């Protein structure tokens, strides 16, 4: 195996490992907020540093590969894509941490089961987890069509987000004493919506790597 | 463990002060690349490492150069013995007008090895180590000149390896080769460092970055910067090094 190939194999494995960690961070933060599990929220918080360490390691690997090996064609697209996927994964992990942190900062916050159902929070968490896993599968199996399917998944997340604003506003009017909890809930929903956007960004990078096409800022429907 | 340890080395071609107070250490099983503009002294320093400059009239060296702890310029050192330990590969492939087999066996024979079985084994091992075996195994008796330039250069590497050196010096070993042959030589260097310490002079900065663990930048006879290759190519400490590797100078 060529020297550059060895470096690329290591980089690929590192981003896959980071991806799996971020998937578990998002899943755990979702489960924590739905079940008010402070222990799980603390676990997410503790593992955040591990994600940050991966980000720095992968940044450094990309920098060295570009500086020392001057990759071209598919190798260059791979390194550039990994560099950007790395940033997106780190941001996703930050959001997961932010969602779970509410339970640590405000241990008394308990969301009303009714509003959880009405806003489809559960479905939203499942949706972003699905998008994140789908991205990893597309990357690992080098299937760009699997990546592009993520764009339509993101519309579902966006729709839940838009509807949730109206539903929560109505709920606050009816239950003004629950406004504090509702503000945290809307913040969590916004974070999930941003995770969906980052999954779409990742899908664009996978497409760029595999098919050499730039989908950024273009209609995806 | 240090394989090469140069201390306070100054070198003169008559009145010309070609190298100025060079201090450089090379660890075992590492690849070190010397880079710098023409006339900076990098090839002169490489040739110092196996006393290739000795025959040039008017040259003078001060300081010390240790190879595996032994001062190679100390009185009583036999250059032939030194060159068994420190092999060299040149810019242009220079096979002898002999068969492929005899080219590789040459170093053993001139060093008095007569054991036919040993020579055969060593020739095969060396050609394999030089990543040439698959291409020549059926034509070992053919002339070395029948090989392509890239194959000839790998044959020269095999010839250097046959006498089991500790250090391999390479003076722009791929500059006369096409990109595919160059890539093969670079991969070979990467493989060979498991067993040898390698010092390579190259004008090709990308080659230095691809193959070496450490890089030394020479300018006007001085060693300006010597550090990990990752550092030299991502964050050099001297503006002169940065200007050179970014192509703004030299």
The alpha carbon of residue A82 is apart from the nearest alpha carbon of chain B, in Å, by 19
Confidence tier at A101 by pLDDT (50, 70, 90): very high
Mean pLDDT of A136-142: 97
Considering the domain boundaries, does residue A220 fall inside one? Answer: no
Residue in A2, A4, A68 closest to B230 by CB: A68
A108, two tokens = 């008394």
Contact at CB, B230 and A70, closer than 8 angstroms: no
The alpha carbon of residue B212 is apart from the nearest alpha carbon of chain A, in Å, by 9
- pLDDT over threshold 90, residue B154: yes
Contact at CB, A68 and B229, closer than 8 angstroms: yes
Confidence tier at A1 by pLDDT (50, 70, 90): low
Mean pLDDT of B118-135: 94
Residues of B in contact with A70 (CB under 8 A): 206, 209-210
Mean pLDDT of B148-166: 93
Residue A195 CA to its chain's centroid (Å): 4
Residue in B187, B209, B211 closest to A67 by CB: B209
Contact at CB, A67 and B234, closer than 8 angstroms: yes
Considering the domain boundaries, does residue A221 fall inside one? Answer: no
Confidence tier at B45 by pLDDT (50, 70, 90): very high
The residue of B31, B185, B230 whose CB has the most chain A CBs within 10 angstroms, and thus the best one to mutate to test that interface, is B230
Contact at CB, B229 and A3, closer than 8 angstroms: no
**Any idea what the CATH number is for the domain that residue A42 is in?**
1.20.58.220
A221, two tokens = 């429907």
Domain assignment of residue A162, given as a range = 3-211
Task: Name the residue in chain A with its Cα closest to that of B231.
Answer: A64
Q: What pLDDT was estimated at residue A213?
A: 85
A6 touches chain B (CB under 8 A): no
Considering the domain boundaries, does residue A17 fall inside one? Answer: yes
Q: What pLDDT was estimated at residue B62?
A: 96
Considering the domain boundaries, does residue A218 fall inside one? Answer: no
Residues of A in contact with B229 (CB under 8 A): 68
Confidence tier at B16 by pLDDT (50, 70, 90): very high
pLDDT in tens, A40-99: 999 999 999 999 999 999 999 999 999 999 999 999 999 999 999 999 999 999 999 999
Considering the domain boundaries, does residue A165 fall inside one? Answer: yes
Mean pLDDT of B138-153: 95
Residues of B with CB under 8 A from a CB of A: 183, 186-187, 190, 206, 209-211, 229-230, 233-234
CB-CB contact of A96 with A29 (8 Å): yes
- pLDDT over threshold 90, residue B246: no
Q: What pLDDT was estimated at residue A221?
A: 54
- The set of long-range contacts for B225-231, using a CB threshold of 8 Å and a minimum separation of 24, is B226/B24, B229/A68, B229/B33, B230/A64, B230/A67, B230/A68
Burial (CB < 10 A; 0-12, 13-18, 19+), residue B12, is: middle
- pLDDT over threshold 80, residue B250: no
Contact at CB, B206 and A70, closer than 8 angstroms: yes
The alpha carbon of residue A140 is apart from the nearest alpha carbon of chain B, in Å, by 27
Q: What pLDDT was estimated at residue A217?
A: 78
Q: What pLDDT was estimated at residue B140?
A: 96
β-partners of residue B67 are B4, B70
What 3-state DSSP class applies to A148?
helix
CB-CB contact of B51 with B45 (8 Å): no
Helices (H), chain A: 3-35, 38-69, 73-105, 113-119, 121-141, 144-174, 179-211
Domains, chain B: 2-245 (3.40.50.300)
- pLDDT over threshold 80, residue A107: no
Residues of A in contact with B210 (CB under 8 A): 3-4, 68-70
Mean pLDDT of A163-173: 94
- pLDDT over threshold 80, residue A108: no
A3 touches chain B (CB under 8 A): yes
Across the A:B interface, residue pairs with CB atoms under 8 Å apart total 25
Residues of A in contact with B204 (CB under 8 A): none
pLDDT in tens, B158-207: 999 999 999 999 999 998 888 888 888 898 999 899 999 999 999 999 99
- pLDDT over threshold 90, residue A112: no
Q: What pLDDT was estimated at residue A220?
A: 65
pLDDT in tens, B62-71: 999 999 999 9
Q: What pLDDT was estimated at residue B138?
A: 95
Contact at CB, B210 and A4, closer than 8 angstroms: yes
Structural domain count, chain A: 1
Confidence tier at A216 by pLDDT (50, 70, 90): confident
Considering the domain boundaries, does residue A169 fall inside one? Answer: yes
Mean pLDDT of B17-45: 96
Residues of A in contact with B209 (CB under 8 A): 67-70
């Amino acid at each position: 195996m060529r020297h550059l190939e060895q470096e690329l194999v290591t980089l690929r494995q590192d981003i896959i490992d980071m991806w799996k960690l971020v998937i578990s961070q998002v899943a755990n933060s979702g489960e924590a907020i739905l079940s008010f599990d402070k222990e799980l929220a603390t676990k997410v918080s503790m593992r955040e540093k591990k994600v940050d360490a991966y980000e720095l390691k992968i940044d450094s690997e990309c920098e060295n590969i570009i500086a020392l090996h001057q990759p071209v064609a598919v190798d260059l697209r791979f390194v550039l894509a990994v560099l950007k996927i790395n940033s997106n994964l780190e941001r996703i992990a930050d959001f997961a941490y932010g969602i779970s942190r509410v339970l640590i900062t405000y241990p008394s916050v308990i969301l009303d089961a009714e509003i959880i159902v009405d806003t489809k929070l559960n479905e939203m968490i499942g949706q972003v987890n699905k998008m994140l896993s789908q991205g990893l599968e597309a990357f690992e199996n080098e299937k760009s069509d699997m990546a592009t399917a993520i764009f339509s998944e993101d519309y579902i997340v966006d729709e839940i987000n838009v509807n949730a604003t109206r539903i929560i506003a109505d709920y606050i009017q009816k239950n003004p004493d629950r406004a504090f909890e509702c503000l945290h809930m809307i913040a969590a929903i916004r974070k999930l919506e941003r995770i969906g956007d980052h999954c779409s960004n990742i899908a664009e990078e996978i497409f760029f790597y595999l098919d050499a096409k730039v989908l950024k800022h273009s209609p995806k429907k | 463990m240090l394989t090469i340890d140069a201390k306070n080395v100054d070198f003169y071609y008559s009145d010309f002060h070609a190298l100025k107070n060079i201090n450089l250490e090379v660890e075992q099983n590492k690849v070190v690349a010397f880079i710098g503009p023409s006339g900076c002294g990098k090839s002169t320093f490489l040739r110092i490492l196996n006393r290739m400059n000795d025959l040039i009239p008017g040259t003078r060296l001060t300081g010390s150069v240790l190879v595996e702890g032994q001062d190679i310029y100390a009185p009583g050192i036999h250059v032939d013995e030194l060159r068994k330990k420190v092999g060299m590969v040149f810019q242009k492939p220079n096979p002898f007008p002999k068969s492929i087999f005899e080219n590789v066996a040459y170093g053993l024979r001139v060093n008095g090895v007569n054991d036919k079985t040993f020579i055969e084994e060593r020739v095969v091992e060396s050609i394999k180590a030089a990543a040439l075996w698959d291409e020549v195994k059926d034509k070992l008796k053919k002339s070395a000149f029948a090989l392509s330039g890239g194959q000839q250069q790998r044959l020269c590497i095999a010839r250097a390896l046959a006498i089991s050196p500790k250090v391999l010096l390479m003076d722009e070993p791929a500059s006369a080769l096409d990109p595919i042959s160059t890539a093969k030589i670079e991969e070979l260097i990467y493989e060979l460092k498991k067993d040898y310490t390698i010092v390579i002079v190259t004008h090709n900065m990308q080659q230095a970055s691809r193959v070496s663990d450490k890089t030394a930048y020479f300018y006007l006879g001085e060693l300006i910067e010597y550090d990990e290759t990752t550092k030299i190519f991502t964050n050099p400490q001297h503006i002169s090094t940065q200007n050179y590797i970014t192509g703004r100078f030299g």
